[in-house]
Structure 1
Amino acid sequence: MDLDLIQKGIKENLIKLDDENHSITYIQPNKKRNFSNPEEKVQAEAYLKLILNYGYKPERIKLFVSVTMGSGTKEADIIVYNDDDCEEPYILVECKKEDVSEPEFAQAINQAYSYAYALPNDIKFIWVTSGLKNEYFEVNKQKDSKISHPDIPQFGVKKLANYKFVYKADTLHSEAGKQKFSDIKIVSEEELTRQFKKAHDALWGGGHLNPSEAFDELDKLIFCKIWDERKARKPGDPYDFQIITVEKEEIKNFKKLSEKELENAIRIEENSRLAERIKSLYGEGRVKDPEVFRDDIRLTHERIRTVVAYLQEINLGETDLDSKGRAFETFMGSFFRGNFGQYFTPRPIVKFITDVLPITHESLVLDTSCGSGGFLLYALNKVRNQATEFYPEYETNPSDNTKHYKHWHDFAEKNLYGIEINEQISRAAKMNMIIHDDGHTNVITSDGLLLPEEIEKNTKNRGFTYNRFDFIITNPPFGSTVRQTEKAYLKEYKLGKKEADWLAVVEKPEANRENQSTEVLFIEQNYNFLKEGGYLAIVIPDGILTNSSLQYVRDSIEEMFRIVAVVSMPQTAFTATGAGVKSSVLFLKKHTQDTTEKIKEIKTTTQFNLLAAYGYKEKVTQYEKEKKQEIKKLEKEYKEKYPDLDKKAFNELIKDEKTEIQNTYTEKINNLKEELQEAFTKEKQSKLPDYPIFMAIAEDIGYDATGKPTNNNELDVIGKELTKFINSID
């Protein structure tokens, strides 16, 4: 709802609201209505626009006009008359609530048309509106026709142009009797969110496209809309991203067509020209930015028109950056909570991670599994807020404005990097960045586990090199498995190889693992991308921290990083996005190569000394010798007792006792191994650098298992303390 328009209507004494805003009174006709009714809000806006924007006198406007339809009576919402006696109807307005569906909106058009026919005198124009979508028609009862227009005429205007929106319309000289054009308008976050959602729903409603396909196609048209706004224009030049009508004379052989055929031919031609303009914008954008969209627009001309009708009057470029960013995030978040929930990290977690890290405009930031781009966006917003702190007068001081823009925009363009394996999701991330005024340049579609040379070969982007980034903030995919037979790069990872067993009596050659989980490999890949002293903040399943089978992963983390913090998330943290794995956020700081080598040397030396001190290999060899002797003795005794048994029967006879002997010595060896492992852990910890680790458990992070807000986010408090802790680290 346009609150500014409502307030202006109150100020001009056209309407008044009660104290609770439950009822509205239209002053001139003296009618009181229920303002809590969603349709009434749309009707109030339409009424005020007719007076304040189109210049019609309140005395010539009637509300809730009775219309005889056969034996019954209906009610037309608004009728504008050509005369003071209100006997010559001119414009009929049919209002529907904002969340009306496309079929319901089409039905409203037919309903308005039937009202126009039922009125005793001729109606010239019909305006059907839901507040978010508008359709305008010129009707002719005698010819039984309705021709689409870009607008209804303002008071005194006899001839309508075939478009409505032009660049810098408010700077144009207005003349009496001539149409006054409109410029595209800045909208609120709430309205923009609704427009995005309605456009998306219109695409997939009725099963024409599935929700993900509809999201993809809407992304493309938003891209076209942004590109159109960025084109150079002179004041008065029309925008391309709008419905532009066609005169009947432009239709081939129009005189030979019936009114219905002509009406249909005009619609087809309008849609064809609109699609041509949109695809031209899309083509221009793809030439300049081929990585954003690689495939063509796959919508019918009519569906392109549907989306354009929702978005054509919005000024995305000038709408407040935070508002349009949050609107797209909100709209995108509702979509990603569906089939693509795994690509969407809940924003309280994203905000917590980016808030606590000392990211500045000079930092190089990477997300190796960027999904919808949440981490990159929050890093960008953090730097934008810093720019405002540095240049608080940027809105009024031209010099500060330039510095403010350069401060955050250079960071967005040159310092933000993202990798996403799913092309559709990668496209959504890029669009998310574009909506936020860029940062999409270095968001690429690729497997984030590829080696840098392969990434460069596939994407032509040279920015993804090892030992380069200051911060990596990421939530890698959980539970996926990389198999050696499918991904040749697995053998390039240390964690893709079987760990050496320091307690093995006989050394085995290094062997590759047949498979490894993605979350484990991403720990090593992120280490590779970080520069020394760089920070990794990564969401990981708790199994990496607790499972005994993954001790080798924890050992590697200890060698590669200083462990800064472990913050446990609630079980329900990812439930609303379709994942139920208990997880934590691990904050790590990359060691220097010297530190890593020293840690490895301490471990190796400690192991060597313990093996020698315990006489480990000698003891194990002795145990094996004793085991063989006891088994040999057992076999001898039974052969003497049962000399006639065949081999199979003999083995079956001694099986249990033989197994008992084997288990006894296996237990002795395992006990010895446990003793050495405990001694190693104790000795190692006494020799390795000692440092504090920040530990916290968050039980409520602002939403429940369904995603519903709880109005309590413990991450806010934890974040303040963790920020202090990180700032205290050398």
Structure 2
Amino acid sequence: MAAKKPLKNEAKKTEKKKVGHSVPSTDPAVASTSAKPKAPSQAAPAALKRAAIEVQTEGGKIWSHVRQKWLVETPEERVRQHFLTVLTNEYGYSIEQIKEEESVTGRGSGQARADFIIWRTPQDQAEQKPPLIVVECKADNVTIQAKDYHQGDHYARMCGAPFFVTHNTRETRFWRVRKDKMPGYIEEIENIPHADASDKQIEELIAKLRTFKEDEFAELLHQCHNVIRNREHLDPAAAFDEIAKILFIKSWVEREMRRKRQRQNLFTADWLDSQLGENPLQELFRQTKEGYKADRIFDERERLNLKPATGREIVRLLERYNLSDTSEDVKGIAFERFLGRTFRGEIGQFFTPRTIVEFMVRMVEPKEGDTVCDPASGSGGFLIRFFEIVREQILADADSQYQQFAESLESKKLSAKAKADRLREKFDEIQKTIDQTRKGSRLWNLANRCIYGCDANDRMARTSKMNMIMHGDGHGGVHQHNGFINVNGIFEGRFDIILTNPPFGANVEPTDVVTQEDVAVPDEEYERCAEVYGKAYKDAHAKVKAAVGKPIASLFELPKAEGKVRTEILFIERCLALLRPGGRLGIV
């Protein structure tokens, strides 16, 4: 006998009960009969007291677990309800500790409303004691501005909260309120307390939480460098390589922790000790190499060349900084400062000062759709700044598109639901264009089709890739290769912009010839480049292939006399040749 099918409304109610708080159907016939959840037994274990909540949507509406009602699903509301799941499921706060869209000035004020106000305990909330945290959420296509930080500070001060958060899914930043400072003084910190933090722990957090300071992190990296040199007796360059490996491990592990929404989201020495095996850091490096396999940063046979105790000490020193949560600007600048100090002072290589990079990049006026190349990329400074500026332009344009569309709806006679539906559709449409993981999106094209560089030094090419990853990506077009010779997407007549600070003072000897290794390209890579770049790539590759065994200088027009040729002469011609007609060149 066939099983009886549940009625439509019964099915709805059953589906909604999978979350910790009951979610009535939007169907009026059902909403009035939805049962409220039973209070958990006081003796129940903590893990059983509160099930994880989930975002629930239905028919253009989204369920508010705090307000216990359906709301119109605007993009802003969706951001808010998603972050509520983070506050409850990851930080452990209960719905009873949270108020949503709550006035911070008392009843009767419709202007100053915080997205979330969180109390230390449900009892504190019931007794109207000062809260612990204020949260301000913004839509994903809205770049959080300084005024949003100050608004959060203002709201937190008004209700006496020691912490506030500014959030959209593009970035989440944590702040503490300094009551010994004037309003408007804001201080960024690394995190907010979890729900089970004791009073003493919260006091310690208020006193000790520190932001990711560029100078501090750069100094810490230098300290790690010295530990490796002293314990392992490695030269400065080799010690740098080992730090780079651990930074990649740390970035990968913390990214995975965040992706899996683990409460433990820091790569700490204690967490490392809990892993199986005699040398778990070596195993994590293997997994990290696999995670970055497509980027070809590490050779498959490469190992972490540190004793387990040394590796653990480096992890311990770095553990208070979360590379997954820290903004690209901050950790990128810190990494650059460490690079400058290490390579300039101990390895003898110099990088272009950041102020010069900024001036030159601004001078050539990069815009979306421009392709850029640095044939002597070094640490990648020019390419990184190009990426940052054009990314800012794209995100600002996305913001503008959404705001203009929202304003255009104001003059139309639409219901709240119809307006929200259109806003949501437009929001999702724009979001797809700025999803960097989505092939063909504006940011994907910027990172994968517009930025190219190479450096003859293997260590510098890897450093450039790592520096770009620290700043938010764009590293896929960087190669370890002789800058005078075509490789993959780098060939004549292709670029709108060349920015470079090539090595001067050296010579190209007549015995420096184009080798088979210089032009060798795996069949799969050749086919990919031919598909992306077309006939121009095939012709450029054929040109250098025909030059195998000939002097590198024979590829150029300027050096007429026989004998050695200054590298600066060849680099100037190379840069001009790489430009397409009307291109812009900035060279030191």
| TM-score with structure 1 setting the length | 0.40
Q: Which has the larger radius of gyration?
A: 1
Q: Indicate the structure whose relative CO is greater, using CA pairs within 8 Å and at least 6 residues apart.
A: 2
| TM-score with structure 2 setting the length | 0.49
